[in-house]
Amino acid sequence: MPIEPDLSIYSELVRAQLSALGENPTREGLQKTPERVAKAMSFLTSGYRTDPEKMLNGALFSSESEEMVLVRDIELYSLCEHHLLPFFGKAHIAYLPKGKIIGLSKLPRIVDMYARRLQVQERLTTQIANEVQRLLLPHGVAVVIEARHLCMMMRGVEKQNSCATTSAMLGTFQSDSKTRMEFLELIRHRGH
């Protein structure tokens, strides 16, 4: 398990960063900013320190069902590892049980565990799929993430309406086009 971040060191680095940007870190609006940023970054990277077994908390259950389980529109917030700017969007996760199901609230927790790290969307998608596969050993897992990246919206190409979509398909979702298409159709349908 990774060690806890040293918030006092991180605060001093933020203070130095403010000075390097030409700001006065002692002015009223910035006096507590280094500590706030350190605490925020600790939270935003807490996924490194999340123990999957503790997070799961025994929420694996026997089941004879082999029908698709889908949780869609799971909000996610992460930090681009290239610029430390946020990206945010929604994850859609499905699996085909093979003897075990997971408590539905655990799928968003898996998303958070990997999103609360310095990330790229492609790796995040794969990590979520692999974790569901590792925990359940199902017939198949499918994950699609749709996200907007502030590193593309606020700087660089400055394209505010762009949305990146990534997918990871394992097992039956990869080998059976009918199953894959059923999943994709279900996540396209946005009714409640």
What pTM was computed for the model?
0.93
151 as an active site residue: the answer is yes
Residue 190 pLDDT > 70, yes or no? no
Q: State pLDDT tens for residues 125-148.
A: 999 999 999 999 999 999 999 999
Catalytic residue among 83, 133, 174, 182: 83
Q: State pLDDT tens for residues 9-64.
A: 999 999 999 999 999 999 999 999 999 999 999 999 999 999 999 999 999 999 99
Residue spans of the domains in the chain: they are 7-44, 54-188
Fold type of domain 54-188: GTP Cyclohydrolase I, domain 2 (3.30.1130)
Residue 145 forms beta bridges with which residues? 91, 166
Determine the Cα angle at 178 with ends 94 and 127, to 5°: 30
State the average pLDDT for the chain.
95
Tokens 């898996």 found at: 110
From the CA atom positions of the chain, what is the Rg in Å? 20
Residue 192 pLDDT > 70, yes or no? no
82 as an active site residue: the answer is yes
185 as an active site residue: the answer is no
Catalytic residue among 121, 127, 131, 139: 121
Higher pLDDT, 42 or 191: 42
Give backbone dihedrals phi and psi of 134, rounded to 5 degrees, phi first. -60, -45
Q: How high is the pLDDT of residue 173?
A: 98
189 as an active site residue: the answer is no
Alpha carbons 17 and 115: distance in angstroms, whole number:
25
80 as an active site residue: the answer is yes
Catalytic residue among 66, 75, 81, 122: 81
Mean pLDDT of 149-157: 87
Alpha carbons 5 and 7: distance in angstroms, whole number:
6
Mean pLDDT of 159-186: 95
Tokens 């389980």 found at: 69
81 as an active site residue: the answer is yes
